[in-house]
Structure 1
């Protein structure tokens, strides 16, 4: 049996470019850039996290877009991901509605997120654990790119 389309090609058809990954390092009570959007607007087709070190203390955690021009806005509402431990290997996702919470174990964008030039940041209130975030995107404007910050 011959293979007509390879896995990488199929993923590109469904999700666009990527995945691009960024590890948070040990979470700290701060705001840290994860990804940089440059050259124009993009449509984020997937954005999921994988916990690499268990999160065991209370941690109000969210993702936001900090555009070069315009107002910073939430991509997902702050969610406590530590009071009930989030163990290493847990997948984190959200549906893309700013008022939604981060979901443990499953979840994905219901539709693409259209983002301007700027930085996707994580805002953490906790002091332990680590997450690696994975992002796929389609350039909405010619020349638009996303890279790990």
Structure 2
């Protein structure tokens, strides 16, 4: 049987631009920029994390958007992802409700997140573990892009 559409083409059709990834590095009690939105607004169609190094200490963890203009706001509520260990390989997700918690093992955006130019940030209170975040998006404004933060 011949494949008419390749997997990467189907992913791009459903989710937009290919996944961009960024590691938090070893988690510390700090805020780290993960992704930079530039040139206008974007519709984030998926945003998931994969734990690379187990998180084993209490860690109130969240993601937030810090726009170039406007107020910083949570993308997901701070969730303790360390008191009950989160082991390497665990997938982290959330449904897009800023008052909901991070979900271990599954979860995905119920609808796109419309974000302005600025940074998507990782906010950690713990001191161990590492997460690599993967994001797909569609430009909402002509010329809008997302890149892994420097």
Q: Deviations over 1:7-29 (max 9, x none)?
A: 11000000000200001110000
Moved over 3 A (4+): none
**Counterpart in 2 of 1:12?**
12
What is the deviation of 1:74? 0.2
CA root-mean-square deviation: 0.3
1:1-149 to structure 2, matched below 5 A, reads 1-149=1-149
User: What is the alpha-carbon distance in structure 1 between the residues aligned to residue 79 and residue 130 of structure 2?
Assistant: 15
User: What is the alpha-carbon distance in structure 2 between the residues aligned to residue 83 and residue 5 of structure 1?
Assistant: 44
User: What is the alpha-carbon distance in structure 1 between the residues aligned to residue 18 and residue 9 of structure 2?
Assistant: 11
Which has the larger strand fraction?
A: 1
Aligned residues: 149
User: What is the alpha-carbon distance in structure 2 between the residues aligned to residue 25 and residue 15 of structure 1?
Assistant: 26
User: What is the alpha-carbon distance in structure 2 between the residues aligned to residue 65 and residue 21 of structure 1?
Assistant: 16
What is the deviation of 1:103? 0.2
User: What is the alpha-carbon distance in structure 2 between the residues aligned to residue 68 and residue 25 of structure 1?
Assistant: 24
Unmatched 5+ stretches in structure 2: none
TM-score (norm 2): 0.99
